[in-house]
Amino acid sequence: MERFCDGDARAFDALFARYAAPIRGYLLRATGDPATAEDLLQGTFLSLVRARGRFLRGHFFRPWLYAIATNAVRDHLRRRRPEVLTELGELPTDAAEPTPPSDAGLKRAVRDALAQLPANQREVILLHRFEGLSMAEVAEAVGASEAAVKVRAHRGYERLRQLLQGVWEEQA
């Protein structure tokens, strides 16, 4: 990133090549829509270009980039809040599957349960569990203290446990 800040255009290509796939995956998990994730990916890297002068040398780049991506998701969800609430209202709340779910069924159940979490808990879980950021990096990415992030994660995991309890019991 420092080379890019110094004006090396090829450094941007290297950053994009290294981080586009993980950021795309995060955005896809956060939005659930490939087209939206792709749009937000482009917006994230455009924001990176525009904000490169604000990057603090000596800081870690990855949490800073995830912060840009997280803000893009927040903005997107804010713009379509009524639509999201309608979609979440249509999710089954206590539908039990008669047979143990397949891997695809488990993934769908987890995705649906994640969608029911408050946004601040969902983004912490996505960044920590799915993207592999440390709690300190997540805190930097979401602009909160590490203690607050740990509380959000704990509450989010507890809620996920409640939402997925029936799915896991059937799997056993």
How does pLDDT run across 52-97, given as a tens digit for each residue? 878 877 778 888 999 999 999 988 988 875 554 444 444 444 444 4
pLDDT tens, residue by residue, 25-56: 999 988 889 999 999 999 999 999 888 878 87
Q: How many Å apart are CA 157 and CA 2, to the nearest integer?
A: 36
The model carries a pTM of 0.66
Phi, psi of 8 (to 5 degrees): -80, 105
**Per-residue pLDDT at 84:** 46
Largest CA distance in the chain: 59
What mean pLDDT is predicted for residues 106-116? 85
Count of positions (residues) in the chain: 172
1-79 maps to CATH 1.10.1740.10: yes
Secondary structure (3-state) at 49:
helix
Which of 115, 125, 123, 119 lies closest to 158, judged by CA?
Answer: 125
Q: How many C-beta neighbours within 10 Å does residue 167 have? A: 19
Give residue 87's pLDDT: 47
Q: For the ranges 4-8, 78-82, 140-144, which has the lowest average pLDDT?
A: 78-82
Break the chain into its structural domains and give their ranges.
1-79, 93-172
**Domain covering 93-172, topology:** Arc Repressor Mutant, subunit A (1.10.10)
In angstroms, what CA-CA distances link 46 with 17, 50, 68, 102, 134? 14, 6, 10, 39, 25
